[in-house]
Chain A
Amino acid sequence: MTQYFVAFFMIAGGVFCFVAGLGMLRLPDTIIRMHAATKAGALGSGLMFLALALFYMDLSTTLRAFAAILFILFTAPVAAHLIGRAAYCTRVRLWDKTWIDELAYTCDWTEPEQDD
């Protein structure tokens, strides 16, 4: 019975990772492409670690697999935030249909930073 759950979670994770790659290729804009990279990618690899925790049913491997899931879920938004801010501040070209720009004055540095 367990093997079917393992196979289901593995294939679901593989499908989500494939959708992430497809979105990375097909979505129109850098900021929109980050949705595919972080959400679908984190969900796909999290499902893969869940399948791994079900596959080896022992305590140490399952604990490490859940630690890996927690680590992915903590680091993916941080990395996405940093990349998104860097992309916005280098003024990448937004999509034509983007009509709301809440960060319009965030990156308007009138005087450059002196720390470097």
Chain B
Amino acid sequence: MVVESIVVQTAAKITLVLLALAVLLAFIRLLAGPSQADRIVALDLISVLIVAILAALSIYRQQRAFLDVAIAYALIAFLGTVALARFRERLARSGRIDEHQEEIDQ
């Protein structure tokens, strides 16, 4: 049973605006972040925010299918974050990346 109400619709609109602002703030950090680890953290936050956007959109459009999309996207985003972090750590372990060294080189 789906409750049609103006309260839920208004709350969904406010929530979508807040989530869009949050994605914008995280995207500024993604562009500006001084190290690559900052960019990985910003990408992780953006994927979590996209999952929240999909849940809010499911309420706003009253479509249950968005929930499955959100679950599948959360799984794939977790795999992507783990892959990026492992790649980064392996580069560090083989001594090919050092943030201080990058700063010195710049």
CB atoms of A21 and B26 under 8 A apart: yes
Total A-B residue contacts, Cβ distance less than 8 Å: 217
Q: Please, how many residues of chain A have a CB less than 8 angstroms from a CB on the other chain?
A: 63
Query: Hey, what's the 0/1 contact readout for A61-95 against B, CB within 8 Å counting as 1?
Result: 10011011001100110111011011101111100
Contact B1 A58 (CB under 8 A): yes
Contact B89 A56 (CB under 8 A): no
B86 to chain A, nearest CB (A): 7
How far in angstroms is the closest Cβ of chain A from B58?
6
CB pairs A–B below 8 angstroms (15 shown) = A17-B19, A20-B22, A25-B25, A25-B26, A30-B37, A34-B41, A36-B45, A37-B42, A41-B44, A48-B52, A52-B67, A82-B85, A83-B85, A87-B88, A90-B88
- Complex: A6 Cα to B16 Cα, angstroms: 14
Q: Does the CB pair B26–A113 fall under 8 Å?
A: no
Contact A68 B8 (CB under 8 A): no
Which A residues are CB-close (under 8 A) to B22?
17-18, 20-22
Task: For A2, give its contact among B3, B12, B14, B56 (CB under 8 Å).
Answer: B3
Check if B93 sits within 8 Å of A109, measured CB to CB: yes
Establish whether residues B28 and A17, one from each chain, have CB atoms under 8 Å apart when the complex forms: no
Tell me if A82 and B25 are in contact (CB < 8 A).
Answer: no
What is the 8 Å Cβ interface bit string for chain A, positions 86-116, against chain B (1 contact, 0 not)? 1101111100000000000001010011001
Residues of A close to B16: CB separation below 8 A: 14
Q: A21-B21, A21-B24 are in contact. Are A11 and B11 (CB under 8 A)?
A: yes
Chain B residues with CB under 8 Å of A67's CB are 71
CB-based closest 4 A-B pairs: A21-B22, A7-B11, A87-B37, A21-B25
